[in-house]
Structure 1
Amino acid sequence: MNTVCLQVFVSEASRHHGKLTYEWLLDVAQELGIAGGSAFVALAGFGRHGRHDAGFFELAGELPVVVEFFVETAMADQLLKCVADAGLTLVYAKLPAEIGVTVP
Protein backbone atom coordinates (compact mmCIF):
# COMPACT_ATOMS: atom_id res chain seq x y z
CA MET A 1 0.00 0.00 0.00
CA ASN A 2 1.28 3.45 -0.91
CA THR A 3 0.23 5.44 2.17
CA VAL A 4 0.76 9.15 2.71
CA CYS A 5 0.06 11.64 5.44
CA LEU A 6 -1.91 14.44 3.78
CA GLN A 7 -1.84 17.68 5.77
CA VAL A 8 -3.96 20.61 4.62
CA PHE A 9 -3.37 24.01 6.24
CA VAL A 10 -6.21 26.50 6.78
CA SER A 11 -6.90 29.38 9.15
CA GLU A 12 -9.16 28.71 12.09
CA ALA A 13 -12.01 30.97 10.99
CA SER A 14 -11.81 30.51 7.21
CA ARG A 15 -15.08 29.44 5.62
CA HIS A 16 -16.21 27.76 2.42
CA HIS A 17 -19.89 28.00 1.48
CA GLY A 18 -20.75 29.13 5.02
CA LYS A 19 -19.00 26.20 6.70
CA LEU A 20 -15.65 26.32 8.50
CA THR A 21 -13.07 25.19 5.95
CA TYR A 22 -11.65 22.47 8.21
CA GLU A 23 -15.16 21.08 8.75
CA TRP A 24 -15.80 21.20 5.00
CA LEU A 25 -12.57 19.24 4.40
CA LEU A 26 -13.53 16.59 6.95
CA ASP A 27 -17.02 16.29 5.43
CA VAL A 28 -15.69 15.91 1.88
CA ALA A 29 -13.13 13.33 3.02
CA GLN A 30 -15.85 11.33 4.77
CA GLU A 31 -18.04 11.48 1.64
CA LEU A 32 -15.11 10.13 -0.39
CA GLY A 33 -14.88 7.17 1.97
CA ILE A 34 -11.71 8.17 3.80
CA ALA A 35 -11.66 6.20 7.06
CA GLY A 36 -10.65 9.09 9.32
CA GLY A 37 -9.22 12.56 9.62
CA SER A 38 -8.42 15.08 12.33
CA ALA A 39 -8.14 18.85 12.64
CA PHE A 40 -5.54 20.34 14.98
CA VAL A 41 -5.40 23.99 16.06
CA ALA A 42 -1.92 25.43 16.48
CA LEU A 43 -0.87 27.42 19.55
CA ALA A 44 1.09 29.77 17.33
CA GLY A 45 2.32 30.05 13.80
CA PHE A 46 3.60 32.30 11.07
CA GLY A 47 3.40 32.32 7.32
CA ARG A 48 2.61 34.56 4.40
CA HIS A 49 0.00 36.44 6.47
CA GLY A 50 2.29 37.12 9.44
CA ARG A 51 2.54 35.66 12.92
CA HIS A 52 -0.38 34.52 15.06
CA ASP A 53 -0.31 33.50 18.72
CA ALA A 54 -3.09 31.97 20.82
CA GLY A 55 -2.26 34.39 23.63
CA PHE A 56 -3.69 37.40 21.81
CA PHE A 57 -7.47 37.49 22.18
CA GLU A 58 -7.85 39.93 19.29
CA LEU A 59 -6.35 37.30 16.94
CA ALA A 60 -9.01 34.69 17.76
CA GLY A 61 -9.93 32.83 14.61
CA GLU A 62 -6.63 33.47 12.84
CA LEU A 63 -4.64 30.54 14.20
CA PRO A 64 -3.43 27.86 11.80
CA VAL A 65 -5.38 24.59 11.63
CA VAL A 66 -3.87 21.41 10.20
CA VAL A 67 -6.36 18.90 8.79
CA GLU A 68 -4.63 15.54 8.56
CA PHE A 69 -5.44 12.25 6.83
CA PHE A 70 -3.51 8.98 6.45
CA VAL A 71 -4.61 7.60 3.09
CA GLU A 72 -3.44 5.92 -0.09
CA THR A 73 -1.84 8.33 -2.55
CA ALA A 74 -4.73 8.00 -5.02
CA MET A 75 -7.26 8.97 -2.34
CA ALA A 76 -5.13 11.96 -1.28
CA ASP A 77 -5.03 13.08 -4.91
CA GLN A 78 -8.80 12.66 -5.17
CA LEU A 79 -9.35 14.83 -2.08
CA LEU A 80 -6.97 17.50 -3.41
CA LYS A 81 -8.89 17.48 -6.71
CA CYS A 82 -12.13 18.11 -4.78
CA VAL A 83 -10.44 21.05 -3.05
CA ALA A 84 -9.29 22.50 -6.38
CA ASP A 85 -12.69 21.87 -8.02
CA ALA A 86 -14.31 23.78 -5.14
CA GLY A 87 -12.18 26.80 -6.01
CA LEU A 88 -10.08 26.70 -2.84
CA THR A 89 -6.39 27.57 -2.83
CA LEU A 90 -4.90 25.78 0.17
CA VAL A 91 -1.38 24.84 1.19
CA TYR A 92 -0.82 21.11 1.73
CA ALA A 93 1.92 18.59 2.45
CA LYS A 94 1.88 15.00 1.24
CA LEU A 95 4.41 12.91 3.14
CA PRO A 96 5.23 9.19 2.93
CA ALA A 97 3.78 7.35 5.92
CA GLU A 98 3.70 3.90 7.48
CA ILE A 99 0.62 2.90 9.44
CA GLY A 100 0.65 0.12 11.99
CA VAL A 101 -0.76 -1.10 15.27
CA THR A 102 1.37 -1.98 18.26
CA VAL A 103 0.95 -5.47 19.62
CA PRO A 104 1.62 -6.19 23.30
Structure 2
Amino acid sequence: MRGTYLRFYVQEGKTHHHLLAYEWLLEQAKKMGLHGGSAFKAAAGFGRHGMLHEDHFFELAGKLPVMVEFVVSDEEADRFLTFLQAEELPLFYLRMPAEFGTIKGPGN
Protein backbone atom coordinates (compact mmCIF):
# COMPACT_ATOMS: atom_id res chain seq x y z
CA MET A 1 0.00 0.00 0.00
CA ARG A 2 1.01 3.60 -0.43
CA GLY A 3 0.32 6.29 2.13
CA THR A 4 1.97 8.77 4.45
CA TYR A 5 4.60 8.57 7.16
CA LEU A 6 3.99 11.17 9.88
CA ARG A 7 6.54 11.94 12.59
CA PHE A 8 5.99 14.52 15.31
CA TYR A 9 8.66 15.88 17.64
CA VAL A 10 7.66 16.95 21.15
CA GLN A 11 9.55 17.63 24.35
CA GLU A 12 9.03 14.70 26.73
CA GLY A 13 7.66 16.87 29.55
CA LYS A 14 5.35 19.00 27.37
CA THR A 15 1.66 18.62 28.19
CA HIS A 16 -1.60 19.25 26.36
CA HIS A 17 -5.00 18.94 28.03
CA HIS A 18 -3.28 17.65 31.21
CA LEU A 19 -1.58 14.74 29.40
CA LEU A 20 1.97 14.39 28.18
CA ALA A 21 1.89 15.63 24.57
CA TYR A 22 3.14 12.35 23.13
CA GLU A 23 0.50 10.39 25.06
CA TRP A 24 -2.16 12.87 23.95
CA LEU A 25 -1.11 12.46 20.29
CA LEU A 26 -1.34 8.68 20.55
CA GLU A 27 -4.74 8.86 22.28
CA GLN A 28 -6.18 11.24 19.69
CA ALA A 29 -4.88 9.13 16.81
CA LYS A 30 -6.50 6.05 18.36
CA LYS A 31 -9.82 7.92 18.80
CA MET A 32 -9.67 8.98 15.14
CA GLY A 33 -9.28 5.37 14.03
CA LEU A 34 -5.62 5.38 13.03
CA HIS A 35 -4.30 1.82 13.12
CA GLY A 36 -1.16 2.32 15.20
CA GLY A 37 1.43 4.72 16.43
CA SER A 38 4.61 4.67 18.48
CA ALA A 39 6.56 7.08 20.66
CA PHE A 40 10.35 6.95 20.98
CA LYS A 41 12.44 8.96 23.46
CA ALA A 42 15.73 10.26 22.16
CA ALA A 43 19.02 9.83 24.02
CA ALA A 44 20.06 13.33 22.96
CA GLY A 45 18.91 16.08 20.65
CA PHE A 46 18.58 19.79 19.93
CA GLY A 47 15.85 21.84 18.34
CA ARG A 48 15.45 25.20 16.65
CA HIS A 49 16.89 27.02 19.66
CA GLY A 50 20.15 25.07 19.39
CA MET A 51 20.20 23.87 23.00
CA LEU A 52 21.56 20.32 23.33
CA HIS A 53 19.65 18.02 25.69
CA GLU A 54 21.18 14.72 26.79
CA ASP A 55 19.78 11.85 28.81
CA HIS A 56 22.50 11.80 31.46
CA PHE A 57 21.86 15.26 32.90
CA PHE A 58 19.43 15.05 35.82
CA GLU A 59 18.56 18.76 35.59
CA LEU A 60 17.37 18.25 31.99
CA ALA A 61 14.85 15.55 32.90
CA GLY A 62 11.70 16.04 30.88
CA LYS A 63 13.38 18.02 28.11
CA LEU A 64 14.48 15.29 25.72
CA PRO A 65 12.81 14.97 22.33
CA VAL A 66 10.14 12.32 21.84
CA MET A 67 9.28 11.19 18.32
CA VAL A 68 5.72 10.06 17.70
CA GLU A 69 5.26 8.15 14.46
CA PHE A 70 2.33 6.98 12.36
CA VAL A 71 2.06 5.24 8.99
CA VAL A 72 -1.37 6.02 7.60
CA SER A 73 -3.35 6.60 4.42
CA ASP A 74 -3.08 10.03 2.80
CA GLU A 75 -6.66 10.78 3.84
CA GLU A 76 -5.97 9.84 7.48
CA ALA A 77 -2.88 12.04 7.47
CA ASP A 78 -4.85 15.00 6.11
CA ARG A 79 -7.61 14.48 8.67
CA PHE A 80 -5.18 14.14 11.60
CA LEU A 81 -3.15 17.21 10.61
CA THR A 82 -6.34 19.27 10.18
CA PHE A 83 -7.47 18.17 13.65
CA LEU A 84 -4.09 19.06 15.18
CA GLN A 85 -4.10 22.48 13.51
CA ALA A 86 -7.45 23.23 15.18
CA GLU A 87 -6.00 22.14 18.56
CA GLU A 88 -3.30 24.84 18.31
CA LEU A 89 -0.68 22.54 19.85
CA PRO A 90 2.69 23.82 18.61
CA LEU A 91 4.32 20.86 16.85
CA PHE A 92 7.14 20.25 14.44
CA TYR A 93 6.30 17.40 12.08
CA LEU A 94 7.64 15.47 9.15
CA ARG A 95 5.37 14.14 6.39
CA MET A 96 6.73 11.76 3.78
CA PRO A 97 5.29 9.36 1.22
CA ALA A 98 5.45 5.76 2.44
CA GLU A 99 5.01 2.28 1.06
CA PHE A 100 3.86 -0.19 3.69
CA GLY A 101 2.36 -3.61 4.20
CA THR A 102 2.64 -6.76 6.26
CA ILE A 103 4.67 -9.92 5.84
CA LYS A 104 2.86 -13.02 6.99
CA GLY A 105 4.73 -15.69 8.90
CA PRO A 106 3.99 -19.36 9.51
CA GLY A 107 0.46 -19.99 10.75
CA ASN A 108 -0.96 -16.64 9.52
**TM-score using structure 2 length:** 0.89
Q: What 5-or-longer segments of structure 2 have no aligned partner? A: none
Equivalent runs, 1:1-104 vs 2, <5 Å: 1-49=1-49, 50-103=51-104
Q: What 5-or-longer segments of structure 1 have no aligned partner? A: none
**Equivalents in 2 of 1:47, 1:37: separation in Å?**
22
Q: Please identify runs of 4+ aligned residues in structure 1 that moved more than 6 A.
A: none
**Equivalents in 2 of 1:101, 1:71: separation in Å?**
13
Alpha-carbon distance, 1:101 to partner: 2.6
Task: Decide which moves more: 34-43 or 78-87.
Answer: 78-87
CA deviation vs aligned residue, 1:23-81 (integer Å, no higher than 9, x gap): 11001100110010000000000112311100111101000001000001111111111
**TM-score using structure 1 length:** 0.93
Alpha-carbon distance, 1:100 to partner: 2.5
Computing the radius of gyration over CA atoms, which structure comes out larger, 1 or 2?
A: 2
Root-mean-square deviation (CA, aligned residues, Å) is 1.3
